[in-house]
Each structure stands twice: as C-alpha cells, then as structure tokens.
C-alpha cells in the first residue's frame, strides 16, 4: 500500500549512504482484517470477510471436531515503526470459531514511530471463540502499542492468549530499548469487567533484569478464559500454570514468565490444551502451532 501522497523524493540533497531515510519517505502498512461468523442449524459459517494489505486471512481445514479456523497473517513478514493493524472479529449467537496466526509476529526495530495493533473481539450470546495467536517477537528497539478489547455477554465464552518475546533469542539478542504498551480490556454487556496494561520504555533491559520485576525473563504470556465455567476451571488453571492463576470478576487469568521463550511457549500450550479438555473440546491446538 502506498502512503498518502505517494513517495517523497529528495531533489536537492542526497543523504549519506549510511543515513536512515526520513520517516516521511518510508512506506507504511495500514492493514485491516474483519471476520464475522454466524450459526445456522448448529453449523458455523463465514458471513463477512474484509482484508487490506498487509493483512490476509487464511482458512485452513480445522482438525476433526474443532470449530472453523481462521489464520490472520501479515504478508509483509513483520511490522515496522509506523505500521498500523486493525483486526475485528465478530461471532453471532451460537457461532464458534478459532482465530490464530500462521507464525510468530515480528516487530522490527523502529526509527521513531510506534507500531500500532488493535484487536477487537465481539461475541453474541452462546458464542464460543478462541483467540490464539502465536508469539509476538520484539526486536531490540521495537516500539509496539497493542490494544485488545473483548466484548461478551454472560452466556458467551472466550479462550484467549497473548505471548511476548523480548528479543531474538536465536541470535542472542535481548530487548534493551524501545517501547511496549500492551493493554487488555474485557467488557460484559458493555460494562468494563477487567482491564490490564503493561508499559515498558526507557532502560528496558534494566527492568527486565530486575530480580523484583521480570527477573531476567525472555518471554511473558497470558492465558485468559471468560465464561460461565470460569470459577469451576480455576483449580485446573492453577495446576496447569504452577499456581500462577487467579479469578478476577469472573475472568480466569493465568500468567507465564520465563528465561527461555521456548519453555514459556510450551507452558502456554499445555495450559490451553488442558483448558480446552476441561471445556469438553479436543485437547490440542491448531496445527499451525506446529506442536
């Protein structure tokens, strides 16, 4: 997608070879993905799909017994500073669907602007949704502002997760600077039920290494369930998350923090599989997770 006004061309001065290009000259992604499902006769079907590059929605065949599966991808291979992504998911009464990503999302080092990601999930009564994206990897110097809003009714159910990796572990990279603002909010019948936000900036490395904060963690993840069975599932979640689970206002929340991103990923997968089993569903994750 071309930025508004097209490309800005230098006409009087040629920048030095190693100089960073001006932010106004860089192409920015403005991605949109809108997905809606409805149920008829016990069968869920897609009723609305809109996608705008770099977002693209794929529909892999789900595993037997699983609801319809949608995978939201960014064709750019990652997100850079100044990119904006908006994802909207809606399920009508009685519909069921799983939404995931085909791979981890990469947030590249920024030259200054934030990368903005907004996700909105809206569920009607008796709808069941799973928002199960794979990890978001923050390159050193990345600037990410992400907001996730979940709107439910007392009779709808949602299983969700989000994972953050602080640097490219395979390259020995750690997140030392940049910005992260990651906010969740859960609403029931239009009223705020639960909200949480994580903000990191400045000397991020010092905060991640602080033994009274992240204690050297390389990854952080949250698993959330909202539904009528939340209280019943608390003991199961605590067993799956080594005690790091709580029930707040009807929202079941499990947290994972670890020095190895792969170990956090495995722990999240075990928790999701265990909660799915407890909900009477297949004890597995979409094949795109490659587990």
Q: Answer yes or no: is 251 within a domain.
A: yes
Q: Which helix (H) or strand (E) holds 29?
A: none
Split at pLDDT 50, 70, 90, the class of 25 is low
Q: Render pLDDT for 82-110 as a digit per residue (tens, 0 to 9).
A: 999 999 999 999 999 999 999 999 999 99
Residue 195 lies in a domain: yes
Asked whether the predicted pLDDT for residue 209 surpasses 90, the reply is yes
Does 1 fall in a domain? Answer: no
Specify which residues 188 forms β-bridges with: 152, 191
Q: Which two tokens stand for residue 104?
A: 């981890």
In a domain, 2, yes or no: no
| Domains: count for the chain | 1
The verdict on residue 76 lying in a domain is yes
Give the per-residue pLDDT at 234: 97
Average pLDDT for the chain: 90
> Domain of 247?
37-289
**Exposed/middle/buried for 2, CB within 10 Å: 0-12, 13-18, 19+?**
exposed
Does 147 reside within a domain?
A: yes
Q: What is the pLDDT of residue 271?
A: 97
Q: How many CB atoms lie within 10 A of CB 195?
A: 12
What are residue 183's DSSP bridge partners?
147, 197
70 backbone dihedrals φ, ψ, rounded to 5°: -120, 140
- Owner of token pair 């799956």: 240
Q: Which among 18, 161, 175, 40 is positioned nearest to 107, based on CA atoms?
A: 175
Flag whether 5 is in a domain. no
pLDDT over 90 at 291, yes or no: no
């Amino acid at each position: 997608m071309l930025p508004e006004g097209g490309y800005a061309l230098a006409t009087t001065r040629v920048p030095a070879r190693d100089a960073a290009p001006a932010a106004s000259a860089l192409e920015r992604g403005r991605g949109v993905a809108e997905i809606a499902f409805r149920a008829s006769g016990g069968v869920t079907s897609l009723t609305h799909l809109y996608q705008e590059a770099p977002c693209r929605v794929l529909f892999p065949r789900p595993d037997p017994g699983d609801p319809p599966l949608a995978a939201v991808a960014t064709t750019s291979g990652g997100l850079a500073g100044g990119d904006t992504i908006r994802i909207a998911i809606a399920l009508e009464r009685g519909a069921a669907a799983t939404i995931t990503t085909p791979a981890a999302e990469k947030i590249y080092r920024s030259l200054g602007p934030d990368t903005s990601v907004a996700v909105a999930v809206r569920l009607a009564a008796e709808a069941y949704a799973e928002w199960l994206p794979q990890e978001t990897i923050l390159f050193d110097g990345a600037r990410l502002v992400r907001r996730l809003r979940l709107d439910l009714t007392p009779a709808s159910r949602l299983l969700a997760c989000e994972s953050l990796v602080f640097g490219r572990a395979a390259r020995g990279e750690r997140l030392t600077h940049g910005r992260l603002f990651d906010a969740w909010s859960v609403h029931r019948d239009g009223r705020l039920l639960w909200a949480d936000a994580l903000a990191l900036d400045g000397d991020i490395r010092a905060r991640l290494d602080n033994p009274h904060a992240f204690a050297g963690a390389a990854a952080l993840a949250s698993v959330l369930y909202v539904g009528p069975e939340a209280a019943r599932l608390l003991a199961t979640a605590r067993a799956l998350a080594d005690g790091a689970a709580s029930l707040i206002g009807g929202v079941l929340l499990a947290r994972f923090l670890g020095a190895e991103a792969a170990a956090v990923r495995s722990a999240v997968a075990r928790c999701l599989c265990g909660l799915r089993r407890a909900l009477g569903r297949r004890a597995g994750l979409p094949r795109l997770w490659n587990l």
